Structure 1
């Protein structure tokens, strides 16, 4: 069998499938491997050290599977592990030319195109919000934008347990949005800084004033990856192009398959990975 060199797409669970869907739709020619670390999810409330440890283990697995490029389609992993992996781990690996990319910088690079008031709300897990990564990256790109953050710790459990369409979910969706708007009424743009949140984007929009734009990351990350590969022909030429997709989960594969289609938009068949 001819060796494949896919693009790896990683998330702590299901959420990264919303980003992977956009990537696969925009760049269908490449081979892909998706891994959800559902067995150790959620990452949102874990320490920097633990998130780095888990993420690095998964990145090393992708490399063993032949992936020269891995996208961390997970805001918590991007916030808590990406910089350390890029700066400290990759240079000491057997093939330091391999690359790991995240979702925070691509989003920060374009968020200024959406806001007129220069006040942006960021909704995310506690881990992402407490890391301050979005404040730092957006400030680097657009010093004139004021970032207002809001942690939404209940949203991911609601989504992962299939309770996001319940009346109870509406209470918690409205609760966090009201807190954000109360402390920063100037906001005209809200960024969904968690890949799970597009699943409830319609509910989020329904509890916000009509003048506020709600920005999801999938298409932004897909565009950024396309531009990255155009700029880095040395990486693009390493990737194989057979339009294949493989899915893995560190938890039960049947359970993963049952939930994944809601995030990916089509049926998914995964394999269990012991890591």
Structure 2
């Protein structure tokens, strides 16, 4: 019997499409369902309880669509909801399903991108306040010093397609300066929000050339390839017809208009 279970990819909005694109590039033959919770985004300023509730609802929706594996391609959801879902909800209700995030795969390899052992993390308020990257990186690499900077204006600028305009420069320069003021020895900056890779052209102009600016897409994709190789009990359930479906809790026409900027290709979404 041919397996058809898709890999579910969830984000609070558009940003996870940058991760999805990297995953699809490395694993093109699998089936995928992407869900963006645009009607309730951004997640960055919500409480732990609210983000957990929203994330679980979306994960369960993807389970109902036949997904046995779901990737939280959202740093805020990974920081505030993943652990509870993995430790409480899956064992109790979905023991044969798996949910993975984006924080651990990044933390596991960050050591390869810094020589000074001084790493900057730029993210939403929710991700920064959770301390998830600081804790996870120090779990693997206690000798790395992590400096964090929240960037509350970046997601609104990106989602309104204003991020490459001159008006965005103040907020880009200001947050980068605030991060570098914490330590002049930072030589690796992690973009801990899946929206932020769209700022890469501007960030390369702001940061000194020796600083590694690290986006998560390829790291998460490579980690997923490794995970599927180590977990044949999950891999064998996945469909491999190369199908991609896109859903949003918001307005599909508005989603389609912006989503191509993140995904790098035109797409057609459906209402959740």
SS in 2 for 1:147: strand
Residue 103 of structure 1: aligned partner: 102
Residue 260 of structure 2: aligned partner: 261
Residue 49 of structure 2: aligned partner: 49
Write the distance in 1 (CA, Å) between the matches of 2:205 and 2:76. Answer: 26
Q: TM-score, normalised by structure 1?
A: 0.98
Residue 147 of structure 2: aligned partner: 148
| CA deviation after TM superposition for structure 1 residue 177, in Å | 0.2
Contact 2:3–2:237 under 8 Å retained in 1: no
Contact 2:3–2:238 under 8 Å retained in 1: no
Structure 1, residues 195-252: CA drift from partner, whole Å, max 9, x if none? Answer: 0000111101111111111000000000000000000011000101000000000000
Q: Give the length in aligned residue pairs.
A: 272
Residue 76 of structure 2: aligned partner: 76
Write the distance in 2 (CA, Å) between the matches of 1:184 and 1:24. Answer: 37
SS in 2 for 1:183: coil
Structure 1, residues 172-206: CA drift from partner, whole Å, max 9, x if none? Answer: 00000001101111100000000000011110111
Residue 188 of structure 1: aligned partner: 187
| CA deviation after TM superposition for structure 1 residue 40, in Å | 0.2
Residue 124 of structure 2: aligned partner: 125
Write the distance in 1 (CA, Å) between the matches of 2:264 and 2:123. Answer: 22
Residue 244 of structure 2: aligned partner: 245
SS in 2 for 1:14: coil
Q: TM-score, normalised by structure 2?
A: 0.99
Write the distance in 1 (CA, Å) between the matches of 2:123 and 2:53. Answer: 21
Detail structure 1 runs of 4+ shifted over 3 Å in the superposition: none
| CA deviation after TM superposition for structure 1 residue 104, in Å | 0.1
Write the distance in 1 (CA, Å) between the matches of 2:109 and 2:13. Answer: 26
SS in 1 for 2:95: coil
Consecutive unaligned residues of structure 1, counting only runs of 5 or more, are none
Residue 207 of structure 1: aligned partner: 206
Write the distance in 2 (CA, Å) between the matches of 1:158 and 1:202. Answer: 15
| CA deviation after TM superposition for structure 1 residue 8, in Å | 0.1
Write the distance in 1 (CA, Å) between the matches of 2:39 and 2:242. Answer: 28
Contact 2:3–2:240 under 8 Å retained in 1: no
SS in 1 for 2:104: helix
| CA deviation after TM superposition for structure 1 residue 4, in Å | 2.3
Write the distance in 2 (CA, Å) between the matches of 1:169 and 1:29. Answer: 38
Matched, 1:222 2:217: no
